């Protein structure tokens, strides 16, 4: 069964450093999402992306965050200058045709900012 993959599985970085989290969505999916989950808390929406544009972003997704689909398979989340409070699990998800469909989540990247 096709699945969403994410790399790296874990990332440790110093505060103020840039990080790029990578995702490969399911190949025939058109909508891509990033979520984050602070330890023990709920899954929070960050951004949705379709047709090479951001469809929607939450208030968490400020100027420090950006997303890109640099080629036909990868979908990346960049955090320009990490803060301690960015420490969380970051999940990528994809759907075939939009948010009303099943979201397939990747295994996540655990980001720790020191």
Partner 1 sequence: GQQVMQIPQYQHVQEGEDFTTYCNSSTTLSNIQWYKQRPGGHPVFLIQLVKSGEVKKQKRLTFQFGEAKKNSSLHITATQTTDVGTYFCAGPKGYALNFGKGTSLLVTP
Which range binds partner 1 by CB under 8 A, 15-23, 33-41, 64-72, 75-83?
A: 33-41
Instruction: Look at the block and give the residue holding tokens 């929607």.
Output: 56
Residue (27 or 51) nearer to partner 1, CB: 51
Which range binds partner 1 by CB under 8 A, 12-20, 63-71, 75-83, 92-100?
A: 92-100
Strand runs labelled E in the chain: 5-7, 10-13, 19-24, 31-37, 44-50, 53-57, 65-68, 75-79, 88-95, 104-105, 109-113
Q: Least Å distance between CB 109 and partner 1?
A: 11
- Largest interatomic CA distance in the chain: 38
DSSP class of 28: T
Among 86, 108, 111, 113, binds partner 1 (CB under 8 A): 108
Which range binds partner 1 by CB under 8 A, 17-25, 30-38, 62-70, 72-80?
A: 30-38
């Amino acid at each position: 069964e096709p699945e969403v993959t994410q790399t790296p599985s874990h990332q440790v970085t110093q505060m103020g450093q840039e990080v790029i989290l990578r995702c490969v969505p399911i190949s025939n999916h058109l909508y891509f999402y990033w979520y984050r989950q602070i330890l023990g808390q709920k899954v929070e929406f960050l951004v949705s992306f379709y047709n090479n544009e951001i469809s929607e972003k939450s208030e968490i997704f400020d100027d420090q965050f950006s997303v890109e689909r640099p080629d036909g398979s990868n979908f990346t989340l960049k955090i320009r200058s990490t803060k301690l409070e960015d420490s969380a699990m970051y999940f990528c998800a994809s759907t075939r045709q939009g948010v009303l469909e099943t979201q397939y989540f990747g295994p996540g990247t655990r980001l720790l900012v020191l």
